[in-house]
Every structure is written in C-alpha cells, then in structure tokens.
Amino acid sequence: MEWVIILVLVVAGIYLFFRFKKRKANFSMLPKQFIVLDLETTGLDPTQHEIIEIGAVKVNRDSDNHTSLHALIKPSKKIPNEITQITGISQEMVERDGENLESVIKEFMEFFGDLRLVAYNAKFDMSFLKTAAKNYGLTINNPSSCALKMARRAWPGLKSYKLGDLAKTGGLSTKGAHRALKDCELTMIVYTSAASELGTPQ
C-alpha cells in the first residue's frame, strides 16, 4: 500500500471531519510514532475464535514516511461462510497464503516495539492479541487507545459509530472495508481527527 497516498487521504478525511467545526486541526498531542492496527477474526470470543488477518501501520506524526505490516493467518478450523462474506477472506486464501500464528505474533510484537497501539475497538483487538501472545508465553504491555471511544467523545449524538458509517459521514470511501489494512487507514483518520478534537491521544 502506498502510504503517501494514505497521508493525502488522512488530510482529506480530517478536513471532512472538521468541516462542521470550523477549527484548525492540531496534532501536537499525538505521539511522534504510534501503531494503528486491525484484526480480522473468525468470531467475537478470543478463547474460542481465531485471528485470520492482522494489519498494522507504524505512523510517523511528523513525516509522510509510514511503514506497514500485513499477514494472513491459517486458522486451525475452517473459516465460517459468514466471516468470508463479511471480510472477503476465504479458506482458499489462508490455505495458500496463511502463515503460522506464532511466527506472525512474534513478528508483529517486534514491529510494535513499545509504541502506543491504536485500534478502532481496542478492547476487541487487544483481547485477541493478548490471548494469542499468552498462548506462546509472550506478553503485550503497550499503552493503547480506542478510536471508537474517542469518536463517541469527540462527536456525541451521531446515529452510528460503526467505522464504516463514520467514514461515510466524512465522505470517505469504504471500498475494501473489513480487510485489515483498509480498516487501519480508516481508523487512522478517525483517531487523528478525534485526538485533535479532544486534545488528547487517548
């Protein structure tokens, strides 16, 4: 993914989110580096369901150079049809390109370092990540921010706070939503916009 293009989308998205506020965006409260991540899973329970995709972007606040990491993961059980319909991730895809979860978790933890982790529904994503790490004797202690909670505080009274609905409110394309890196892109826009509105990175 071309993250220079993503930066342009971020700027455009922030403008759209702020068009009703008539306020200049300020990002000085953001960490100089942070991670935006997203998971796709076979269900909602980290003790019963499995991660099938992880995407993460290491964002540099003061630069247009960002790096991303992405992996499909082969689960131990077949992907339910309804999950394929939502995400577009098929059993054939993970059979062909899926990696071992243990190696992926270790690679992503190295990518994260000790940086702040940002997810749209952080409770969900972090529960799956921490459960997976614990299964391999690893611990994730990074600080985290929930873009969903921040959006609710920044823009109270909206009809929906689903990521796709917020993106549409800002006039952003949701093509490719429910895939990890696309959701990272949208989450980054919501997070940076909400942080600027609230004056806090969490």
Over residues 155-167, the pLDDT tens digits come to: 999 899 988 888 7
- Confidence at 7, pLDDT banded by 50, 70, 90: very low
DSSP annotation of 133 reads H
Q: Which helix (H) or strand (E) holds 43?
A: none
pLDDT one-digit tens code per residue, 60-96: 988 878 899 999 999 999 999 999 999 999 999 999 9
pTM of the model as a whole: 0.86
Listed in order, strand segments (DSSP E) in the chain are 33-41, 51-60, 67-72, 116-119, 144-146
Report pLDDT for 176.
55
Per annotation, catalytic residue among 49, 66, 70, 178: 178
**Measured between alpha carbons, how far is residue 188 from residues 13, 65, 119, 125, 175 in Å?**
10, 14, 9, 15, 16
Of 61, 63, 84, nearest to 179 (Cα)? 84
CA distance 117 to 142: 7
Is-catalytic flag, 49? no
pLDDT at 102: 97
Task: For domain 3-194, say whether CATH 3.30.420.10 is its number.
Answer: yes
